[in-house]
Amino acid sequence: MKAIKKIIDALSIFNDYSRKIAGIIALTALSSMSVLYFLQVIFRYFFHLPLAWLEETCVIGLVWMARVGPVGLVKPDKFLKIDLFKFKPKLASIINFFISLGVVFILTILTVQSVKMTFVSWPQKLAITGWSRGIMFLAIFVGSFGMLFGFLERMLNDAIEIITYKKAQA
């Protein structure tokens, strides 16, 4: 039990930092996209010189914002819940554990596949900017990796609730 709590503490520290970093990345991507699109409007309509590289840059920013931003939403104690069914606390913890286990499984597959896709697509270049196409798959890896550890922490917290609930009843 103490070993699990130490793992949860380490995951909690890692997740706190990853949530902060994900928020900074998402905010940077959103604000840079806003500024770049504003520049595009100015250059296109006032100078009659559209910026060709801007579309690719903003798509990359959108991918990073959409894939890394949700890392900040995965918290062990606060998660989107729909109270359609009312369960007893023990059954609710068991259901939450298995839901988290399924999400961890899917995120593990997504993380591994995104690493493969990053390496496969890294030599490919975007048409206008010449940047690597792997940058977009790298965003998927970073986002799924960060969410994976958030759900691991949540799953272990649910496991502790199940174990301590049994001991409290005995």
Say if pTM beats, i.e. exceeds, 0.95. no
What residue ranges do the domains of the chain occupy?
A: 2-169
* Gap between the Cα atoms of 19 and 23, Å rounded: 6
Rounded to the nearest 5 degrees, what angle is found at the Cα of 26, between the Cα atoms of 57 and 118?
60
pLDDT at 100: 86
pLDDT at 140: 93
* Gap between the Cα atoms of 120 and 140, Å rounded: 14
19, 71 contact by CB (below 8 A): yes
* Local structure of 164: helix, strand or coil: helix
* Gap between the Cα atoms of 88 and 125, Å rounded: 54
* Gap between the Cα atoms of 75 and 22, Å rounded: 13
Identity of the amino acid at 81? K
Q: Give 86-114 pLDDT, tens digit per residue.
A: 778 788 888 888 988 999 999 999 999 99
pLDDT at 79: 59
Going residue by residue through the chain (170 aa), what tens digit of pLDDT does each one get? 788 888 888 888 998 898 899 989 999 999 999 999 999 999 999 999 988 898 889 999 999 999 998 887 777 666 555 556 677 878 888 888 898 899 999 999 999 999 999 999 999 998 888 999 999 999 999 999 999 988 898 888 888 888 887 555 55
